Chain A
Amino acid sequence: MARFTMEAAPFDLAPLESALRDHRAGAYATFEGWVRDHNDGRKVSRLDYEAFEPLAVAEAERILDEAQAKFAIHAARAVHRVGTLQLGDRAVWIGVVASHRDEAFRACRYIIDEIKARLPVWKKEHYVSGDAIWVNCQHAAPSQQVYAPKLDEAQLYARQIRLPEIGEAGQAKLKAARVLIVGMGGLGSAAAPSLAAAGVGTIGLVEQDTLDASNLHRQLIYDAADVGKPKAQLAALRLTSLNPFVSVRVHSDRLGPANCAAIVADYDLVLDCTDNFTTKYLLNDAAHLLGVPVIQASLYQYEGQLLTIDAASDGGCLRCVHPAPPPAGAVGNCAEVGVLGVVPQLFGGLQATEALKRILGMSGQLTDATLLFDLNSYETQRLKRPRRADCALCGEHPTISVLADVTQGQAPLNEIEVELADLEAATLRGARWIDLREPAERTGAVPPGTISHPFGTFDADAPGFEPGPQTFLFCAAGRRSLRATQKLRARGWRNVWSVRGGADALRAILTETAE
């Protein structure tokens, strides 16, 4: 019988107790951890526990060995639950036998503290209000205060508190700050430890990937031995080891339009450390639609750029420079075009710098400028980034009002034709429709507000409508609308598409919507 087990279902205590029976023992101390109905002021309805079992078992065996070495005990055993637990369920059990009670109590306390501090176990708290969040079980390792030389939190920050811009007041601001890091790749794994070490009180990590060997040349917080394990949890373990006074929260679902607002709501500041345009545009839009500032870095081989998107400033957003992402596959990410490992280290460090400056209210932030840095030439450029009056997000007449995946549900910006069946109802409702059929051909229903513009008299230099909302051109079969759209695109129009399949495709959508 192993001394430590992880159990997926409620377990029986009798065999555990009988395995500890020992006639030398005059004391038997046990500890049980139960699921309680509240945490951090919120009402909890149930919990899900998740662990990396091999790592957890090995670590627990080490803890039991340590207890055996430190205290005069005869034996110790422990069990940790995984899976779904209801209120009152037993989550942890520890049993220690010793000749005398003092050593049994002390060893029991040691084991539970170390298990809480060191075991890679995660709990998802389900709240009575219906939502849920993954919580790192390891934060604020109490054992370091009980058994290690007492750690004074203020001592950790002594060198930065000396800076006139920080001081005690600045350190308190850092402690109160809540920063979400989206993406724990090259950028995130450089930014996160800098923020934790500086004493940022709450750090959230969004990452759904497992560690790959090809990550290690630039993601220096991970160990080669951990390839294959979830990165968010490895990172959280590393951050809490680095600074046990920091609370680390893990969000292991991919960030998308559906969960973005709920996740971001708990934080004052977001670091965009992602490597894809979909999330970069989502977070850019969130900066304005949800009002949370976003510090974004993006890399290409030996260079990168850094900017802060802040709705409260007069600076522009990502869309002011690049209104829409490039065609899929046109610009490579780190996996496709390669990256020198120190580049994300530097840019992640710059993101952390910008975050600290923001929390501390220091000057020189990049809310209205973009920093370009090229490591080939060591050339830096600081480019002013004013708002564009015609920006679809932060301009004078914004057309973007909901968070969406720029590559799904919306018209694919890189293509000229759209398949209406692929688009979401909201996109169809918000669009402008141009009917290019001649009067004699017009049969069947068209969307409300459709503008008629016979192809015979269509002039791409004066099409009779202004650039603005997403615009769909259609004709009977989709050929004339394609030609008209091509002409408009050649004149710099972005937001126009031809409806593939013409009026028949449109009719199918209108019938479906009516039903």
Chain B
Amino acid sequence: MQAIQLRYFALLREERGLGAEVIETAARTPRDLYQELAGRHGFSLPADRIGVAINESFAAMDRELAANDVVVFIPPVAGG
């Protein structure tokens, strides 16, 4: 288990009901972490439609997570 600092954006913020939290997780990658959270909070978008940034840079969903990483999940948005 390791601590991850999470930030949510747009639709995910809405579905999670908050913008940021710190969680303890055994997930090794953002994809695993997203699946875990999606199961817990009922996120409507599949993992392959979510962008992720780790420590202020966009990253692949299968990159390995490290303790205290800041992870931002970013759903697509199109409003204008």
Residues of A within 8 A of B (CB): 183, 185-188, 272-277, 280, 297-301, 303-305, 316, 320-327, 330-334, 337, 339, 344, 370, 372, 374, 376-377, 379, 381-386, 388, 492, 494
Contacts and interface: CB of A to CB of B under 8 A. Distances in A.
Given A331-B45, A492-B31, A322 B76 contact: yes
Contact of A331 (B13, B51, B60, B75): B75
Contacts of A322: 49, 51, 76
A316 B49 CA distance: 17
Nearest to A324: B49
Contacts of B57: 383-386
A331 B11 contact: yes
B10 A300 contact: yes
B79 interface: yes
Given A321-B51, A383-B53, A384-B56, A333 B78 contact: yes
Given A301-B10, A331-B11, A494-B48, A326 B56 contact: no
Contacts of B19: 374, 376-377, 379
A326 B76 contact: yes
Main secondary structure of the interface of B (DSSP, over half): mixed
B74 A333 contact: no
Given A324-B49, A331-B76, A492-B48, A381 B58 contact: no
Contacts of B80: 183, 185-188, 272-276, 297-299, 333-334, 344
B16 interface: no
A386 B44 contact: no
Nearest to B62: A492
26 contacts: A185-B80, A186-B80, A187-B80, A274-B80, A280-B78, A298-B77, A300-B9, A300-B10, A303-B9, A303-B10, A305-B9, A305-B74, A320-B58, A321-B51, A321-B58, A330-B44, A330-B45, A331-B10, A331-B76, A331-B77, A370-B58, A372-B72, A381-B72, A382-B56, A383-B57, A384-B57
B78 A304 contact: no
Interface string B33-65: 000000000001111110101001110100000
Interface residues of B, number: 28
A325 B14 CA distance: 19
Contact of B72 (A188, A277, A383): A383
A221 B49 CA distance: 35
A308 to B, nearest CB: 15
A303 B47 CA distance: 21
Interface string B1-23: 00000010111011000010000
Q: Which 8 A-B pairs have the closest CB atoms?
A: A299-B79, A275-B80, A300-B10, A384-B57, A321-B51, A300-B77, A334-B79, A383-B53
A113 B10 CA distance: 50
A381 B79 contact: no
Given A300-B77, A388-B60, 16 more contacts: A183-B80, A275-B80, A299-B79, A301-B10, A324-B49, A325-B76, A326-B49, A327-B46, A331-B77, A372-B74, A374-B9, A379-B19, A383-B53, A385-B57, A385-B58, A492-B31
A304 B79 contact: yes
Contacts of B78: 274-277, 280, 298, 325, 331, 333
Contacts of A492: 31, 47-48
B49, B51, B78 interface centre (most CB from chain A within 10 Å): B78
Given A324-B49, A327-B49, A333 B58 contact: no
B79 A298 contact: yes
Contacts of B49: 322, 324, 326-327, 330
Contacts of B45: 326-327, 330-331
A333 B79 contact: yes
Contacts of A187: 80
Contacts of B56: 381-384
B13, B44, B49 interface centre (most CB from chain A within 10 Å): B49
Nearest to B52: A321
Nearest to B50: A322
A391 to B, nearest CB: 11
Contacts of B9: 300, 303, 305, 372, 374
A320 B13 CA distance: 22
A273 B49 CA distance: 22
B34 to A, nearest CB: 12
Nearest to A298: B77
Contacts of B51: 321-322
